Amino acid sequence: MKSFLDISKIDVTFPTPKGEFTALKEVDLQIQKGEFVSLIGHSGCGKSTVLNVIAGLVQAKNGGVILNQREVNEPGPERAVVFQNHSLLPWLTAYQNVELAVKQVFGKSKSPAETKEWIEHNLKLVYMDHAMQKRPDEMSGGMKQRIGIARALAMQPEVLLMDEPFGALDALTRAHLQDSLMEIQDELKNTVVMITHDVDEAVLLSDRIVMMTNGPAATVGEILDVDLPRPRDRLALANDPHYNHLRSEVLTFLYEKQAKVQPVKAKKKPSVVSTNSHVA
Amino acid sequence: MLSLRKLIVAAACTLAVSATADELGYPEKEELTFGFIKLTDMAPIAVAYENGYFEDEGLYVTIEAQANWKVLLDGVVTGRLDGAHMLAGQPIAATIGYGTKANIITPFSMDLNGNGITVSNDVWEKMKKHIPKQADGKPVHPIKADALKPVVEEIHAAGKPFNMGMVFPVSTHNYELRYWLAAGGLHPGYYAPHKGDTSGQLDADVLLSVTPPPQMPSTLEAGTISGYCVGEPWNQQAVFKGIGVPVVTDYEIWKNNPEKVFGITEEFAEKYPNTTIRLVRAMIRAAKWLDENDNANRPAAVKILSQSNYVGADYDVIANSMTGTFEYEKGDKRSVPDFNVFFRYNATFPYYSDAIWYLTQMRRWGQISEDKPDSWYKDIAAKVYRPDLYQKAAESLIEEKLVSASEFPDFATEDGFRPPQTHFIDNIVYDGKAPNAYINKFAIGLKKGDKL
Amino acid sequence: MNALIQRFTGAAESGESLPLQALAILKQVALPVLGIAAFLLLWGLLAKQVDTSLGSFPGPASVAEQVKNLYQEHVAERAKADAFYERQEKRNADRVAKDPNYVPKVRAYTGKETFLDQIGTSLVTVMSGFLLAASFAIPLGIAVGLSKPLNEAINPIIQIFKPVSPLAWLPLVTMVVSALYVSDDPFFAKSFVNSVITVMLCCIWPMVINTSIGVSSVNSDWVNVGKVLRLSPLKNIQKIVLPASIPAIFTGMRMSLGIAWMVLIAAEMLAQNPGLGKFIWDEFQNGSSSSLSRIMTAVLVIGVIGFLLDRGMLMIQRWVSWDKSQAAR
């Protein structure tokens, strides 16, 4: 079975004054269309590098990434990235930030009216239609991140890459955004790869959790299927034993097993949990 | 019918134009820029402007102060300036290729006299002992460099050099200062351009160096030089500032010596003949106005010169020399009615003999490193000094009754040589027709056959 | 002013008592005034102590008098100019009457530049040199900032030319301009071209350096945004690099304008090019009893103009730049 996004045995090295540093070693991961996958691991384990390889911002030394039967070798809007620090352009308003992306991706294929409608639609999706004319420095961190998500969604990417999107936010704001994200995901059924270091976030949002070993030469440690039914409710799940079991699995990996590099070994059969998974 | 009328009008116009413009047409170039150095002897240019003489000729002239003589000369050579107030030696030196080589000509001589030699207070105190006194206790004039000689010897004995400033290597001031020093037995130094030595300090008792005129007082004040030779108002300025004492004027070194000239390029005169004649006309009128009725207009002239865009020094400072007096030691103000002569004694006529005197001094001090025949002196003088242009301007003014013929040399007989001149501080007679013989008369200086 | 109003309303909202607000305003206005007053007093006292050969050093009173004189001279010169044009018109009319084929030409006034004219000349010159420098420096800075190899090739040249004084350039500029800029009826005066080029050569470097630093240090997230959006190189510069570097570019521009103004005065002094520098030099050469106070007047005017130029740039920066925190100072 061919997967939608195939990360096959990638090695990533960086040159340093002391010689080559091997960041990733034989990272291998297959993701199906519509699947929400989280990458979790301690800081410095190379989670972001994996994401950057998928995004095309970092080139793998060996191995490669195939998305929808095309090899990835440079960045592109079909792999939209939501960056950790929102990375909105501060000289543009919320609307203009999204507009830049929309015009670049859809160009002449949308009429001005359609463009405008599409931008507004995406901003509405993240509940930011009231702040369209605000500049980033007039917005809170959560608002900025919402715009960042809207910008990424507006590109209609084949895969949405999120690099610790809520990492810099306070707990309450983070919860709000997670809920919004789930809501959007229910509607759009995007393929998502998300980096996180938050165990609850990973379990709450993901279909699968990819646990990374510590670097150097980090690789995929274990993969956990999160077979909780959707829509998920954070309050209800708080007392759900299965939820807590999944949570403790991740915690065990992170705090007991993480010291050793282990070969790729799936905890359960790597099947697709998501109901709407098809090979394109 | 119409065309006939047009024809008549046109004919009438041609007639009217030719009546006035037959001998002198409209200027070919009307907008001109003239350069000057802040010295009172630039007065003819300022007066020609302020009194509207330039405009009467249809010339629109901008007058610009220049930083120093080199900048001014380069300005004329490059065409940034159309003409300028120049040291008499500059057009000559440019023509023979000493310094910048260029064909600069002089259709108009700007003035006679007007320079002085000033020494610092220190030097003056030491000199004073050696100067004979008049009945009233004031020093006898002219003061000769004989009085400076023991002072220089004293300073040399102390192992120090004696420095003086002049304004340019080919300036009147350089030659006058040298003349005065040499007449008093002090060697001012030779030039040896063929050996690349243009410092003019070979064998020198007194080391001469170049300082732009307006900076003379401050350079003296700073102690870099112990004296200088410069035009006005910079000698009188030293008296007013109390930093130095003028000891001698060039009038006393050589009575009615030619001083500044108006210089233009030969190319300019050829390209714009009418403009050339017209600007000479304007300046002849200005010079006449400056000397009219026994210097009656001088106070008005001083007022013009004291404007910041001309000389810019205080009225009193300029007035001192311009109105016929000269203050030596503070309080010792003497009458020198001919200190500045702009028109009398044919001051504005470009005499060949004046040019030749400069050439003799260039030879005397080695700027011309080889012997030249007398004919060469005459040829160079005739190339630079252009009495022909002057004559055209003067004659047209006479015709328009703006001046009278008696104020000029008799053009019919004038050969461009003044009669042998006797009024030098060392009593040596100068005859422009025999330059080599003249050079041989000096005790200090290169003579025929000498080569450094 | 804005700050003042804000402070005022802010204080009202927070319920501060009126005397406190008054005190705040007083502080903002009174302290600078006090500082200036103290300076004037000290200046006035010390000036009298310094005796030069042109009289004592000018105090505030003599400078104030010269300000008045210079203005009056300006007015008088304008009157002379009017008379000049009138005479010219008449002369032209006369000539046309005699010679109908003559096409009269109005020539500009040939009299002296007044102090105010010279201020104008200096301002025009400095802005021309500065804008010319900016038009070279900013594209060059962007190119250097974007390309590491270019940066490494050009950096040594920049580092060598950056510390060169205008006075060193001037003779070369003068000679080159007179050699290359030949025209019978030049649109710009040679002296103007000399000044502009000298100013340009001296103020181009801070702009190149700051622009290149700004461009090369664009936030990597924004660079990645550009990459993900697959912006074309030109669009990348237009949409990401240029706006992101605006604060750095403006910092360079402000430095450059300051240098340009200083350089211009020196160049005008040395080359006798029209402007405030020439005014000072001429007055120094004149050595009249009012020269020192006129020079002092020019010194103050140069200072005030330099200050206003910097404020002006700051205002433009505030208006143009997205980074308001940088423009605050």
* B chain contacts of residue C107, beta-carbon cutoff 8 Å: 30-31, 60
B275 and B223: one domain? no
Residue B166 lies in a domain: yes
Q: What is the percent of chain B where pLDDT is above 70?
A: 95
User: What residue has token string 């259709």?
Assistant: B107
Residue B105 lies in a domain: yes
* A chain contacts of residue C231, beta-carbon cutoff 8 Å: 104
Q: Does C314 touch chain A (CB under 8 A)?
A: no
Residue B179 lies in a domain: yes
Domain boundaries, chain C: 81-327
Q: What is the pLDDT of residue B18?
A: 37
Q: Residue B262 corresponds to which tokens in the numbers above?
A: 């108006």
Give the DSSP letter string of C68-127: HHHHHHHHHHHHHHHHHHHHHHHHHHHHHHH-TT----PPPP-SPPPHHHHHHHHHHHHH
B385 with B416: CB under 8 angstroms?
A: yes
Res C329 pLDDT > 70 = no
- To the nearest whole angstrom, how far is the Cα of C221 from the nearest Cα of chain A? 5
Mean pLDDT to the nearest integer, A90-99:
92
CB contact under 8 A, A90 and C231: no
- To the nearest whole angstrom, how far is the Cα of C175 from the nearest Cα of chain B? 10
- To the nearest whole angstrom, how far is the Cα of B36 from the nearest Cα of chain C? 12
Mean pLDDT to the nearest integer, C292-320:
91
Residue B433 lies in a domain: no
pLDDT mean across residues, chain A? 85
Interface test with A, best of C229, C230, C232, C242 (most A CBs within 10 A): C229
Res C12 pLDDT > 70 = no
B144 and B159: one domain? yes
B232 and B213: one domain? yes
Q: What is the pLDDT of residue C184?
A: 64
- To the nearest whole angstrom, how far is the Cα of A234 from the nearest Cα of chain C? 32
Report the SS3 class of residue A68. coil
B136 and B225: one domain? yes
Mean pLDDT to the nearest integer, A39-50:
85
User: Within its chain, how far is the Cα of B61 from the centroid?
Assistant: 21
Residue B350 lies in a domain: yes
Mean pLDDT to the nearest integer, B22-49:
90
Reported ipTM exceeds the 0.85 cut: no
Q: What is the pLDDT of residue B137?
A: 85
pLDDT tens digit sequence for B79-130: 889 999 999 999 999 999 988 889 999 999 999 999 999 999 999 999 999 9
pLDDT tens digit sequence for A157-200: 999 999 988 887 888 888 888 998 898 888 888 899 999 988 99
Res A255 pLDDT > 70 = yes
Q: What is the pLDDT of residue C295?
A: 92
Q: What is the pLDDT of residue B184?
A: 93
pLDDT tens digit sequence for B161-201: 999 999 999 999 999 999 999 999 999 999 998 888 888 89
So what CATH class is C81-327? mainly alpha
CB contact under 8 A, C246 and A55: no
- To the nearest whole angstrom, how far is the Cα of B37 from the nearest Cα of chain C? 10
Q: What is the pLDDT of residue C3?
A: 47
A98 with A151: CB under 8 angstroms?
A: yes
Q: Considering the entire predicted model, what is its pTM?
A: 0.74
E strand map for B345-432? none
B102 and B12: one domain? yes
B72 and B154: one domain? no
CB contact under 8 A, B9 and C100: yes
Q: Does C289 touch chain B (CB under 8 A)?
A: yes
* Rounded Cα distance, C26 and C22, in Å: 6
pLDDT tens digit sequence for B144-156: 999 999 999 999 9
Q: What is the pLDDT of residue B4?
A: 47
* C chain contacts of residue B61, beta-carbon cutoff 8 Å: 110
Q: What is the percent of chain C where pLDDT is above 70?
A: 91
Residue B160 lies in a domain: yes
Q: What is the pLDDT of residue A259?
A: 52
The domain of B303 spans 4-112+258-326+338-407
Res A276 pLDDT > 80 = no
Q: Does A44 touch chain C (CB under 8 A)?
A: no
Residue B154 lies in a domain: yes
pLDDT higher at B432 or C29: B432
B65 and B108: one domain? yes
Chains A and C touch (3+ CB pairs under 8 A): yes
Q: How confident is the model at residue C325 (pLDDT cuts 50, 70, 90)?
A: low
B20 and B105: one domain? yes
* Rounded Cα distance, B219 and B107, in Å: 34
Q: What is the percent of chain B where pLDDT is above 90?
A: 70
* CATH number, position B91: 3.40.190.10
Strand partners, B197: B192
Q: What is the pLDDT of residue B16?
A: 39
Q: What is the pLDDT of residue B198?
A: 86
CB contact under 8 A, C98 and B215: no
* C chain contacts of residue A85, beta-carbon cutoff 8 Å: 221
φ/ψ (deg, to 5) at B51: -85, 0
Q: Does C91 touch chain B (CB under 8 A)?
A: yes
Residue of C nearest to A79 (CA): C228
What residues contact residue B316 under an 8 Å CB cut-off, 6+ apart?
B240
Res C9 pLDDT > 50 = no
Calculate the CA dihedral of residues B430, B436, B441, B446 and round it to 10 degrees. Answer: 130
pLDDT tens digit sequence for B389-411: 999 999 999 999 999 999 999 99
What residues contact residue C254 under an 8 Å CB cut-off, 6+ apart?
C310, C313, C314, C317
Residue of C nearest to A56 (CA): C228
Give the closest of C53, C91, C100 to B241, CB-based.
C53
Q: Residue B374 corresponds to which tokens in the numbers above?
A: 């007398």
Angle at B149 between CA B146 and CA B154, to 5 degrees: 150
Res B239 pLDDT > 80 = yes
Give the closest of C221, C228, C240 to A77, CB-based.
C228
Amino acid at residue number C133: A
Q: What is the pLDDT of residue C17?
A: 63
User: What residue has token string 């009249």?
Assistant: C288
Q: Does C239 touch chain A (CB under 8 A)?
A: yes
Res A267 pLDDT > 70 = no
HEC assignment per residue over C278-314: HHHHHHHHHCCCCHHHHHHHHHHHHHHHHHHHHHHHH
Q: Does C272 touch chain B (CB under 8 A)?
A: yes
Task: State the chains in contact with C (3 or more Cβ–Cβ pairs under 8 Å).
Answer: A, B
B160 and B186: one domain? yes
Contacts by residues A252-258 (CB-CB < 8 Å, ≥ 24 positions apart): A253/A211, A253/A221, A253/A222, A253/A224, A254/A40, A254/A41, A254/A42, A254/A199, A254/A211, A257/A221, A257/A222, A258/A41, A258/A42, A258/A213, A258/A214, A258/A221
Mean pLDDT to the nearest integer, B213-223:
89
B36 and B64: one domain? yes
* A chain contacts of residue C240, beta-carbon cutoff 8 Å: 89
* Rounded Cα distance, C169 and C259, in Å: 14
Residue B175 lies in a domain: yes
Residue (of B252, B206, B274) closest to B58 by Cα position: B274
CB contact under 8 A, C285 and B61: no
Q: Residue C71 corresponds to which tokens in the numbers above?
A: 């203005």
Q: Give CA separation, C329 vs A138, C253, C323, in Å.
A: 20, 14, 12
Interface residues of chain B, partner chain C, Cβ below 8 Å: 9-10, 13, 16-17, 20, 26, 30-31, 38, 49, 52, 55, 58, 60-67, 71, 78, 80, 214-215, 217-218, 221, 237, 241-243, 306-309, 311-314, 317
CB contact under 8 A, C322 and A90: yes
Residue of C nearest to A78 (CA): C228
Chains A and B touch (3+ CB pairs under 8 A): no
* Rounded Cα distance, B212 and B210, in Å: 7
B126 and B196: one domain? yes
Q: Say how many domains are in chain B.
A: 2
CB contact under 8 A, C288 and B55: no
B273 and B251: one domain? no
Strand partners, A27: A10
Q: What is the pLDDT of residue C324?
A: 67
pLDDT tens digit sequence for B414-431: 999 999 999 899 999 999
Task: Tell which of B256, B290, B308 closes a domain.
Answer: B256
